[in-house]
């Protein structure tokens, strides 16, 4: 038996027991001892007024974590632990053997590629492999992949000893993530669950305690200054910024505590693995962020438009994300001051203290950063200011923008100093989330075989954490042999016959319609196909007329296109399909394999980009 842990994520499940004010390890221990417990959800409440945090432990006898297609939900200050049956003699006695990071995967650092039948077998293979740091597994196919993709999660091996955690030398340093060190320390002190507290005489003693810790893999520590009376001044954590779902952005977007005297809480350090001299590719991916170049840009000259009169030169990069615009700045000398969105200096800012790499995340919605959007172009103005209050001629102002191209799904962006008319353009091509069709029964379980008249939910889904909305139109139902076709929605997204297939309604980022199962006389297999396209933000519904009544159906763009443009746009639309097997009453006694070998076929799902 072993446990897999997730940080700040949660799965839905059936809780059969709730207990409060347990420690994280007591909560996990209860689930280990309970035969019915499949998962435990541990959460704690931040309260700087009390020395003991209020905690809650939920034991679940059923969890969606066992569903390969289930997506965990964000949950602040929560640790989710899933019980696994891993057959390996190398399972350690630590509270959890693996830490799962959804959506992440190794890149080019894999030593072995193994095909397994189950996730547990993949994790067991990692434990049995000498010095396996991580296992990266796709939800479909059970192959250990080495590149990020949808449905992939990375499991970090936490059974390693401290001496095995790095291929090179293991050192502790303040994380260089573009956020002020005191802000990172403040976040860790409030939002990290403390694994162990000590009273030490010095920073070096706190560092040594983390280095030699054997009960868990210590990745970071917080030294809170010289000891006072009997209070603890050294906190050890199994977390670092790589284990957080939002990465360094978590530090940047966190609110300061209600009671804050402005003084630093202490010094925060993270485990960092130096590259071995004889193996330049032997760094430990657990602690190295390959998306960030640790070397600051120093190839700018003082005469460059990106340099100011003090001789400070700025290398500004704009990263267009699904839910935010990330501004990363590197300088040729340490910068003191602040970076903020023009007009929102109090709600959208980052203080910089003698750093040559820092960042600012601009929200795409709301008033905090006041990001403007017009026809798919999100823009803002960013100020790099030396003084904490006063803007001077030495400060730099940049206009940044991200353009979301819905047809090609490319993202182009550029930035330009307002005082310089020349545009600096950069192009990136992140992949837009692919939609999929799911057909659910009355218990919200995905089904492939149903009976005529069963009440089903037809869903078209994209991930929740994107700025996109979707609309669906020209949906058809086809017999397996494709000779018979029935239109269920028209080119505007309106239902052709609501008694057969009602209008689409929104459910988060998804569209769904509840209908009763039907089939064609000559075929058990029914193939649904829809034309799907994206909107930025929620799509506006189409107003449909049916028997003198008006109903809304989410089947058109946010803004209507001219007739001649609609035809051109259809050539770039995305078609998705899903097949389902519909039986007559009494057919459930027959062999499904026999039915599939006749005219009906098996379940199939595909996405075509036209």
Per-10-residue mean pLDDT for the chain, 610 residues long? 87 89 88 91 74 81 84 88 79 78 61 64 70 49 35 63 72 85 87 89 92 87 85 90 83 66 81 64 35 43 68 86 84 89 86 87 84 82 83 81 58 40 37 78 87 89 78 85 80 87 88 88 82 79 75 52 36 67 62 42 41
pTM for the predicted model, two decimal places: 0.50
What is the pLDDT, as a whole number, of residue 585? 57
With b for 16 or more beta-carbon neighbours within 10 A and e for fewer, the 393-419 pattern comes to: eeebebebbbbbebeebebbbebbbee
SS (H, E, C) 528-555: EEEEEEEEECCCCCEEEEECCEEEEECC
The three-point CA angle 549-552-555 to 5° equals 135
Give me the pLDDT at residue 113, please.
Answer: 65
The CATH code belonging to domain 2-159 is 3.50.4.10
CATH 2.60.40 fits 436-609, yes or no: yes
The yes-or-no answer to whether 170-273 and 436-609 have a common fold is no
- The helix/strand count (H/E) of the chain reads as 7, 33
| Distance separating alpha carbons of residues 130 and 125, to the nearest angstrom | 10
Q: Position of tokens 């008033």?
A: 367
CA of residue 76 relative to chain centroid, distance: 14
H-state helical runs in 60-178: 119-128
Tell me which residue of 429, 421, 518, 436 sits closest to 478, measured CA to CA.
518
As a whole number of angstroms, the distance between CA 96 and CA 126 comes to 14
Q: What's the burial of 142, exposed, middle or buried (CB within 10 Å: 0-12/13-18/19+)?
A: middle
Rounded to 5°, angle at Cα 12 from 6 and 15 = 100
Return phi, psi of residue 579, to 5°. -110, 145
CA proximity to 527, closest of 468, 562, 484: 484
Dig out the tokens for 587 from the structure.
């057919």
Question: SS3 string of 469-528?
Answer: EEEEEEEEEEECCCCCEEECECCCCCECCCCCCCCCEEECCEEEEEEECCCECCECEEEE
Give the C-alpha separation, 473 to 479, whole Å. Answer: 19
571 CB-near residues (< 8 Å, 6+ apart)? 610
CATH class, domain 170-273, is alpha beta
Domain residues of the chain, as ranges?
2-159, 170-273, 314-428, 436-609
pLDDT for 283 = 38
């Amino acid at each position: 038996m072993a446990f897999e842990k997730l940080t700040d994520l949660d799965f839905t499940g059936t809780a059969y027991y709730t207990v409060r004010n347990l420690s994280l390890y007591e909560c996990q221990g209860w689930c280990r001892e309970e035969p019915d417990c499949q998962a435990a959800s541990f959460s704690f409440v931040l309260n700087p007024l009390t020395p003991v945090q209020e905690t809650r432990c939920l034991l679940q006898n059923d969890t969606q974590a066992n569903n390969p297609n289930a997506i965990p939900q964000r949950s602040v200050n929560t640790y989710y632990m899933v019980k696994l049956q891993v057959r390996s003699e190398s399972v350690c006695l630590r509270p959890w053997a693996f830490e799962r990071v959804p959506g992440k995967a190794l890149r080019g650092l894999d030593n072995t590629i193994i095909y397994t039948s189950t996730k547990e077998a993949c994790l067991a293979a990692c434990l049995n492999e000498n010095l396996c740091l991580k296992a990266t597994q796709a939800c479909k196919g059970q192959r250990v992949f080495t590149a990020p993709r949808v449905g992939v999660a990375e499991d970090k091996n936490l059974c390693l000893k401290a001496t095995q955690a790095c291929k090179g030398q293991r050192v502790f340093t303040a994380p260089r993530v573009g956020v002020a060190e005191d802000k990172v320390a403040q976040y860790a002190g409030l939002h990290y669950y403390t694994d162990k507290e000590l009273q030490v005489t010095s920073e070096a003693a706190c560092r040594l305690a983390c280095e030699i810790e054997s009960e868990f893999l210590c990745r970071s520590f917080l030294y809170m200054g010289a000891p006072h009376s009997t209070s603890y001044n050294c906190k050890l954590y199994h977390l670092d910024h790589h284990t957080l779902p939002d990465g360094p952005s978590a530090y940047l977007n966190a609110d300061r505590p209600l009671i804050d005297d402005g003084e630093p809480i202490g010094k925060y350090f993270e485990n960092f693995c130096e590259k071995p001299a004889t193996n330049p590719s032997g760094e430990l991916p657990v602690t190295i962020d390959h998306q960030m170049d640790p070397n600051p840009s120093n190839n700018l000259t003082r005469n460059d438009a990106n340099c100011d009169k003090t001789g400070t030169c700025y290398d500004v990069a704009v990263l267009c994300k699904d839910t935010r615009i990330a501004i990363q700045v590197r300088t040729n000398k340490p910068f003191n001051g602040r970076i903020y969105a023009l007009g929102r200096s109090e709600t959208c800012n980052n203080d910089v203290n003698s750093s040559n790499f820092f960042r600012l995340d601009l929200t795409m919605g709301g008033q905090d950063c006041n990001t403007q959007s017009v026809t798919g172009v999100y823009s803002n103005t960013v100020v790099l200011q030396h003084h904490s209050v006063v803007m001077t001629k030495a400060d730099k102002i940049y206009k940044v923008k991200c353009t979301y191209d819905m047809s090609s799904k490319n993202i182009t962006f550029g930035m330009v100093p307002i005082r310089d008319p020349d545009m600096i353009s950069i192009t990136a091509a992140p992949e837009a989330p692919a939609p999929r069709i799911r057909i659910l029964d009355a218990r919200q379980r995905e089904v492939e075989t149903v009976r005529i008249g069963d009440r089903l939910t037809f869903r078209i889904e994209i991930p929740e954490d994107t700025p996109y909305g979707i609309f669906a139109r020209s949906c058809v139902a086809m017999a397996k042999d494709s000779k018979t076709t029935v239109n269920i929605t028209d080119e505007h997204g309106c239902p052709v016959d609501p008694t057969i297939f009602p209008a689409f309604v929104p459910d988060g980022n998804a569209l769904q319609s509840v209908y009763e199962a039907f089939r064609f006389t000559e075929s058990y297999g029914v193939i649904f196909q829809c034309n799907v396209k994206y909107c930025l933000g929620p799509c506006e519904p189409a107003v449909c007329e049916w028997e003198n009544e008006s109903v809304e159906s989410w089947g058109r763009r946010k803004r209507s296109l001219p007739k001649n443009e609609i035809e051109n746009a259809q050539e770039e639309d995305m078609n998705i399909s899903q097949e389902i097997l519909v039986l007559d009453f009494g057919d459930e006694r027959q062999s499904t394999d026999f039915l599939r070998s006749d005219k009906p076929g098996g379940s199939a799902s595909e996405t075509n980009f036209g």
